[in-house]
Amino acid sequence: RTQQGGSFIEQIIRDDLQSGRVSKVVTRFPPEPNGYLHIGHAKSICLNFGLAEQFGGDCNLRFDDTNPAKEETEYVESIKRDVSWLGFRWAHLRFASDYFESFHRWALELIEAGRAYVDDQGPEEIRASRGTLTEPGRESPWRNRSVEENRDLFRRMGEGEFDEGSRVLRARIDMAHPNINMRDPVLYRILKKSHHRTGDRWCLYPMYDFAHGYEDAIEGVTHSICTLEFADHRPLYDWFLENVSVPSRPRQYEFARLNLTYTVMSKRKLLQLVTEKIVSGWDDPRMPTISGLRRRGYTPSAIRRFCADIGVSKANSLVDIEFLQFCIREELNRDADRVMAVLDPLKVVIENYPEGQIEELEALNNPEAAEATYRKIPFGREIFIERDDFMENPPKKFFRLSPGSEVRLKHAYLVTCTDVIRDGSGRVVELRCRYDPESRGGEAPDGRKVKGTLHWVEASHALAAEVRLYDRLFTLRDMDSMEEGKDYRDYLNADSLRVVSALVEPSLGQAGPGERFQFLRHGYFIVDDDSRPEALVLNRTVSLKESWSK
């Protein structure tokens, strides 16, 4: 899916630089601080910061904090952390709320020019009079107020004289415009709320469409890139810029937002998952948030590679979550050290191995690494293997352990199962084996073929670990195709988290939060932030299975 010669936006920028319309590229990433960033935002971050980097320009991180009702400093901090973690540096850190005076001045300019008016209709009336695609809207009875009256009312709105919802400031454009966004949109509403940065200075707050282009103009943004839903708002974006004296003239371009299979990405829904405690927090490893992906074990480079490879287009589509998993799996296959961990332990006693003896075996850390490094792992008479690596009555082609069969213990010896021990209820609780002392390293001197290789841990040195196995949070592939009357919470996957008590090799005792490993045959894991040396916790990032092919 990588595009030859770059995206359509790159082409536009090249043309603008060549024609001289633009001399230095300035972009911005403009999140509203009303939630944590998700993988969709990562696409926008990679695009905006990536273009600035590519063309030697600047990209600002700008908080679009024009709605005091939902915005919080906690979100501001998390967004800064996530953008930095992804590996990007902003040229300037900006807040739309720093521009409130300018917005206000421009609103007055529109009033003076007869291009804005105070409307006394309530929100319901305004909505009802907007018209439809086929029918023009109805003009407000307050549309033809004098400039003087508008100036006076707008001032009094700003002084807190009127109630929320009782009056708004609207642009005076055209109630019969074929584009409904152009039918006298609201510029300002009364909100008697404290703002996370401006406090109680304002009780008038600007609307997104009115403010956004001005924010861009103040910052000298040349290419204001947003998602496709805003294509219909572009004429309005242009109208606002053309009808007041702004310091620069930005242009808006639209690209398709990222949608992922089995994933919801709206911040409103993600917030609900958090507040209703369906997940453990914004950074729950099942969340599509940047902080969730980080805790899940994703790397910045895997996310950036994903964003680069899915490309930038003008058509909405649904990207397979398996492709995101492929990106991290490929990277970890190259970078992660291999270790042994048993997730569902079954004890094995090697009867002919000397009691009390422990020997140290050499284990290669990563066969993919350019330089081979080794670690020591203990081996002894008692070990644990994976319960489902043993079958009492195996089908044909079962190459793991069963009564009388021989398998290879990774890095160790060949062993043959001689006996099965059960508890009172008939459950297998232990296996008895014999090992071939001549097979150290895993090959017999007589060259006999042994197909199965099992991972294991030595019983007296193994460390207990809590291992969290994740599955997708939702069961529906396209979460935009929910059945009528259903809620996204009706599609929650009841098995999205499974916690198991595992036994892991002792080398993991040295591992700290954030370290990544491959557990042989189980996948890639990261040491969780909750992990302590005496109480290890690991999260599975992704399994080993290749379910996506390029």
Positions in the binding site for ligand ATP (CB under 6 A): 30-32, 40-41, 43-44, 64, 226-227, 257-258, 265-267
Q: Which helix (H) or strand (E) holds 542?
A: strand 536-542
Triad 21, 27, 29: Cα angle to 5°: 160
Q: Where are the alpha helices (DSSP H) in 55-163?
A: 73-85, 100-112, 123-128, 147-158
d(CA 23, CA 236): 25
> Which of 98/109 has CB closer to ligand ATP?
98
**Residues in Cβ contact with 533 at an 8 Å cutoff, skipping those fewer than 6 apart:** 509
**Residues in Cβ contact with 66 at an 8 Å cutoff, skipping those fewer than 6 apart:** 96, 97, 205, 206, 207, 208, 211
386 is catalytic: no
CB of 181 to ligand ATP, least distance (A): 17
**Residues in Cβ contact with 308 at an 8 Å cutoff, skipping those fewer than 6 apart:** 2, 46, 50
> Which of 44/541 has CB closer to ligand ATP?
44
DSSP code for 29: E
> Which of 67/541 has CB closer to ligand ATP?
67
Q: Which of 10, 32, 139, 330 is catalytic?
A: 32
How far apart are the two ends of the chain, measured CA to CA in Å?
A: 10
d(CA 21, CA 479): 42
d(CA 242, CA 113): 12
CB of 152 to ligand ATP, least distance (A): 34
CB of 290 to ligand ATP, least distance (A): 12
Looking at residue 428, its amino acid is V
Looking at residue 353, its amino acid is Y
d(CA 340, CA 337): 10
> Which of 227/243 has CB closer to ligand ATP?
227
CB of 520 to ligand ATP, least distance (A): 36
Residue 169's nearest CA partner among 128, 235, 242, 108 is 108
> Which of 42/508 has CB closer to ligand ATP?
42
Q: Tally Cβ neighbours within 10 Å of residue 269.
A: 15
CB of 282 to ligand ATP, least distance (A): 13
d(CA 58, CA 387): 56
159 is catalytic: no
> Which of 226/469 has CB closer to ligand ATP?
226
Q: Are strands 516-519 and 523-527 parallel, antiparallel or unpaired?
A: antiparallel
d(CA 57, CA 497): 43
CB of 270 to ligand ATP, least distance (A): 7
> Which of 251/267 has CB closer to ligand ATP?
267
> Which of 66/405 has CB closer to ligand ATP?
66
Please give the C-alpha separations between residue 3 and each of 7, 327, 333, in angstroms, as whole numbers. 6, 17, 26
Please give the C-alpha separations between residue 285 and each of 170, 337, 375, 415, 513, in angstroms, as whole numbers. 44, 21, 30, 38, 14
DSSP code for 283: T
> Which of 248/266 has CB closer to ligand ATP?
266
CB of 168 to ligand ATP, least distance (A): 22
Helix, strand, coil shares of the chain, percent, nearest 5, are: 30, 25, 45
Query: Which position's Cβ is nearest ligand ATP?
Result: 40
CB of 30 to ligand ATP, least distance (A): 5
Q: Which of 70, 115, 257, 521 is catalytic?
A: 257
Q: Which of 28, 189, 234, 267 is catalytic?
A: 267
32 is catalytic: yes
CB of 417 to ligand ATP, least distance (A): 53
Catalytic residues: 32, 257, 267
